[in-house]
Amino acid sequence: MSYCYLCGKKLCNEKPEHIIPNAFGGHLKSRNILCSDCNNKLSDIDRKLCSDLELLTNFISPKRENNKNTIPIIETICDGETFDRVADGSYRKNKNNIQFDGKTLHFSFSHTPNSEAEKTDFQMLQNILRQFAKKNNKNDEWIQQQISKALNQSVINSKESGIHHFQFISNKSGYSFLGSLKIILGFCAFKKVDKKYLESVVEILKKQDVSACYKIANYFNDNSQLPKNSVYHTLYLKGNTISKTLYAIVSLYGVFNIFFLLSDSYEGVEIEESYNYDILKNTPSPHNMSYNFSLEQINRILVEDCAVTIIQQNFNQFMNFFMLRDRQNYILKKIDEVKQSVFQKLVFRNEMLTEENYRNSFTSLFFEAMKKCHNMEFLPEGCFYDLSKIILDNIHTYDWYCYNKEMLLFMGNSVTMLYNSHPKTQDELFNLLTSYINTFRCATPEIQQMYDENKEGLTKFIMDFYRNALKNTNYKDFFLKQDSLNQK
C-alpha cells in the first residue's frame, strides 16, 4: 500500500507523477509518490524551476512524453536588437511591424527562413486577418488573397547568421532549490526511504518555506563524479548509518547541481541509489558514482560559497554538447533540403534519364548545392559524394525517380482525360477521376508496386488538387464548360 509522502493520503489510481519534470525531459515517474491534490498544489514550484532552466531546455530541446508543454522560447540580443530563439534553433525579431488599414496589409518580418520562427510569423499574420475577416464577414478565400497580395508587397528579412548574446541566471525565481527538493523527495518515495527520516524536509516542501530550504541545501561544487560524456539529469541518494546522515544530489542538465542534507540522525538501512538520464540519447544510462561524506564535511558543503569556476565549467561542457548537436541538426536539415530540391529538379525535367545518367546528374547537382550551403565548409568534399551514394541507394533510388516521372505523366494525363470527357458537373468529374485512378496500370512491376503502396496518399493529393482548382472560375470553365447551368 502506498501513501502520499506530503499529506499521507492513501494513493489509489493516481496519474503517474514525473519525479523530474517532463517539461525539461524527465522520464522517471511513479503512481505511488503523490496524490493528485498535492501534485496540483506543488505545480507552481515545478513551473518556476522549469522557467529558471528554460535557456538550457531551449538549447537542448529534450524529448518529452507529451506535447502539452512546448519548448520555451528565449530572448537573445543580436546587433542591438531583441530576437526570440525557437526550439529548432531559428530566430525571429520579436517586434515585427504589422499594420492593416482594412484594405491593405503591410508587414515587415525578420526571421530564419523555412523554420518554426517563420511559421510563427505567418501564423500571427493569419490570425490578424482572421480577426478582421470574422468582424467583416469575409471568407477563407479572401484571407488567402490578402496574404498573397501582402507577400508581393512586403519586406521579409532573412535572419540566418549573426552573434546572439544570452544570459543564464540560475535560481532566478528563488524557488529552484525548493523545486529540486520536490524532485529528491519524489526519488526518496520512489526508493521507499523510511518516511520518519524525511518528516522535517517534507514539512519544508509542504509549507514551501524557501528560507528553511536554503538551510539544508546549497550549490554542489564537486562535479568530479558526475557523468561528462553527454548531457544528463542525475539523482543521487545516500543513507549512511555510520555518519547517521541521509543526503542527496540533484544535477539538472549537468549545470544546475544542488546538495541536500535530508537527515543528520539517520539509522535506517544503508542506501546508495543513483539515476542518470542521457538527454541527448533520450535513454537512462547507468553511471557509477559514490560519495562518503561525514557530517562535518556536509556542514562545510552547506555553507561554502558557490564556486563560479565550477559553474562555468559545467555550463561550457553543456554548450559544447549543444553546439555539436546544433551543428548535427543543421547538417541533417540542409541535407534533407538539398536532396529534395535536386530530386525535384530531375523529376520535372522533360527528358527521362537512364539510371546511369540519373545517378551522375543527382551526384553532380547535390555536390554543387551542398558546397554552396552556409557553414558547410568544414565537411570534406568526399563526404558529399558518400552522402549522395547513400541517398541514391536508399532514398531517391532510380525506381523512385521512375515512379515520380510516371506519376507526373499520370497527373498530366488526368487533365487531358477530364477535358476530353466533357463532364457536366463536379460529381461527374470526380466519378471519372476515381475510375481513372482505380483502373491505372503501369507496365513496370516495380512502379506498379510503388503505385499500389502510395495509392491512398496519391488519391487524396489528386482529389484535393482538383477541388482547389475548381474554386477558380477559369479552371471550372475549362473542365465543366459543357453545361454551366449545372455547375455546383
d(CA 61, CA 23): 10
Distance between CA atoms of residues 126 and 282, nearest Å: 36
Q: 143: number of CA atoms within 13 Å, CB side? A: 19
Report domain extents, the chain.
80-158, 181-312, 314-396, 401-486
Residue 485: the pLDDT is 42
**What's the pLDDT at 240?**
95
Going through 79-229 in order, the beta strands assigned E by DSSP cover: 81-85, 91-93, 97-100, 105-111, 155-158, 217-219
Contact 117, 86 (CB under 8 A): yes
Give every residue of the chain whose pLDDT is below 70, as ranges. Answer: 66-69, 96-98, 100-106, 150-162, 374-375, 377-378, 481-488
Per-residue pLDDT at 322: 86
**Closest Cα to residue 304, out of 238, 212, 219?**
219
Q: What does R_g of the chain's alpha carbons equal in angstroms?
A: 30
Whether 220 and 247 have beta carbons less than 8 Å apart is answered as no
pLDDT recorded at residue 151: 66
User: What does the DSSP 8-state code read for residue 243?
Assistant: T
Q: Nearest-CA neighbor of 220 among 311, 340, 284, 99?
A: 311
Closest C-alpha among 271, 280, 52 to residue 175: 52
Alpha-carbon separation of residue 232 from 34, 262, 447, 453 (angstroms): 25, 23, 47, 42
Closest CA to 293 of 365, 252, 238, 347: 238
Place of cell 560559497: 305
- CA angle, 486 as apex, 480 and 488 as ends, to 5°? 80
Q: Which residues of 392-426 are buried (b: 16+ CB within 10 A; e: fewer)?
A: beeebbbebbbbbbbbeebeeebeeebeeeebbeb
Let me know the angle formed at the C-alpha of 339 by 337 and 344, rounded to the nearest 5 degrees: 95
- In this structure, which amino acid lies at residue 396? H
Question: In whole angstroms, how far apart are CA 126 and each of 121, 201, 451?
Answer: 9, 51, 36
Q: What are phi and psi of 450, to 5 degrees?
A: -65, -40
Q: According to the model, what pLDDT value does residue 69 have?
A: 55
Closest CA to 252 of 488, 487, 3, 19: 19
**Global pTM value:** 0.70
Sequence-distant (6+) residues with CB within 8 A of 68 are none
Q: Distance (Å, rounded) from C-alpha 2 to C-alpha 11?
A: 6
For 87, the 3-state DSSP assignment is coil
Rounded to the nearest angstrom, the gap between the alpha carbon of residue 241 and the centroid of all alpha carbons in its chain is 45
Strands 91-93 and 256-263: unpaired
Q: For 207-246, what is each residue's pLDDT tens digit?
A: 999 999 999 999 999 989 999 999 999 999 999 999 999 9
DSSP label at residue 136: T
Q: Are the C-beta atoms of residues 219 and 211 closer than 8 Å to each other? A: no
Q: In what order do the strands lie in the sheet with 271-278?
A: 217-219, 256-263, 245-252, 232-240, 271-278, 283-284
- The answer to whether 186 touches 17, Cβ cutoff 8 Å, is yes
